[in-house]
Structure 1
Amino acid sequence: MEGAAEPASGQEGLFDPCKDIPDSVLEEVGLDPATEEVDIAGVEQPGWKICSWTQSGYYVIVFSGENSLDDAKANASFTGFETLSIGGRPALRFHSASDPDIDRCYVGLDVSLGSIWIAADAKNSQQQEDSMCSIASRYAEALEGALPR
């Protein structure tokens, strides 16, 4: 296609949460498809497909990347690793080492091509009734059936 944007390097074949999670599934889990944001402020991140939706006090973000969860564990930028089971498959919950208040928490699942991370990210560090890790886990459970294996 003439004039079409080329995907950033490393995105070929990745699950695309904005395109591959049906609106009906988003609505089922309580997310509004109309709040969808592609990438990070509309900017592609090399090696990632990213989609987020807005809730009242937080964002739900789905990252699809070429790296495995073992890569995340080996990355000193992440800490607090906790093994979980989401939809009967192994998962890992963690957060950024530079985020001691855990304003963003990730739940990651390995898939055939890389991994998918579901994150809950507090808006402006707003206090929530539940922790960001509880919220991320809840959405990971709810969305698991729509994610590749």
Structure 2
Amino acid sequence: MLVWALAGCGSAVEGEAEPLSGQEGLFDPCTDIPDSAIRGVGLDPLTKERDLVGVEELGWKICSWTGPWYFVVVMSNVYSLQDVRSNTDFTGFRDVEIGQRQGVQYSRAQDQVGASCYVATPVEQGTIWLRVSRMGLHPIEESTCTLATRYGAELETYWPH
């Protein structure tokens, strides 16, 4: 991909974008999940955002889309399901089926209102996480865990094995 970047006092530098070390081989939800699939699950591909506020995170590929009152975020990383279960930031682990895969559903430990829910499935590189989180203080119209499991089941066919 050709990238134009500002360097110094307004001059442009042309060149290829260099991924962060450790990013090679990670599933990239922004490019590996087609827009037609995003449209097919009822989200608008034009709302796609890469990374966290445009900042690439080492060891992660992140992509999000905006729903009516929530965000859907797909995160690819090198961590195992055991790493997820061992992380004290998360709680409420429940084994679930995500499409044709076995996975786990969980939430953040400090989330007392169900504002976000995650599902994760193992893949060769580590895990794919899908999170549904309400936007701001929008009312929660449906369980974020129900939505996360549904979106995971609908999109997992695009995830690596």
Q: CA deviation at 1:70?
A: 0.9
Kindly indicate whether residue 121 of structure 2 is the aligned counterpart of residue 138 of structure 1: no
Secondary structure, aligned partner of 2:136: helix
Contact 1:77 1:97 in 2 (8 A): yes
Contact 1:39 1:51 in 2 (8 A): yes
**Aligned runs of 1:99-138 on 2, under 5 Å?**
99-138=111-150
Contact 1:120 1:132 in 2 (8 A): yes
Contact 1:31 1:55 in 2 (8 A): yes
Aligned to 2:159: 147
Alignment coverage as a number of residue pairs: 149
Aligned to 1:83: 95
Contact 1:14 1:64 in 2 (8 A): yes
Contact 1:103 1:125 in 2 (8 A): no
Could you report, residue by residue, the CA deviation over 1:81-117 in whole angstroms, capped at 9, with x for unpaired residues?
0100112321100111122222111000100111001
**Which one-letter code corresponds to 1:27 in the other structure?**
R
Contact 1:11 1:66 in 2 (8 A): no
Larger Rg computed on CA atoms: 2
Aligned to 1:14: 26
Aligned to 1:66: 78
Unpaired runs of 5+ in structure 2?
A: 3-13
**Which one-letter code corresponds to 1:74 in the other structure?**
S
Over 6 Å off, 4+ runs? none
Q: Give the share of equivalent positions with the same residue, in percent.
A: 48
CA RMSD of aligned residues (A): 1.4
Question: TM-score by structure 1 length?
Answer: 0.94
Aligned to 1:44: 56
Rounded to whole Å, the distance in 1 between the matches of 2:37 and 2:80 is 25
**Which one-letter code corresponds to 1:106 in the other structure?**
Y
Could you report, residue by residue, the CA deviation over 1:26-69 in whole angstroms, capped at 9, with x for unpaired residues?
11111111000000110111110000000110000000001011
Rounded to whole Å, the distance in 2 between the matches of 1:105 and 1:36 is 19
Rounded to whole Å, the distance in 2 between the matches of 1:39 and 1:132 is 21
Unpaired runs of 5+ in structure 1?
A: none
**Which one-letter code corresponds to 1:116 in the other structure?**
I
Instruction: Give 1 or 2: higher strand fraction.
Output: 2
Rounded to whole Å, the distance in 2 between the matches of 1:67 and 1:105 is 18
Aligned to 1:55: 67
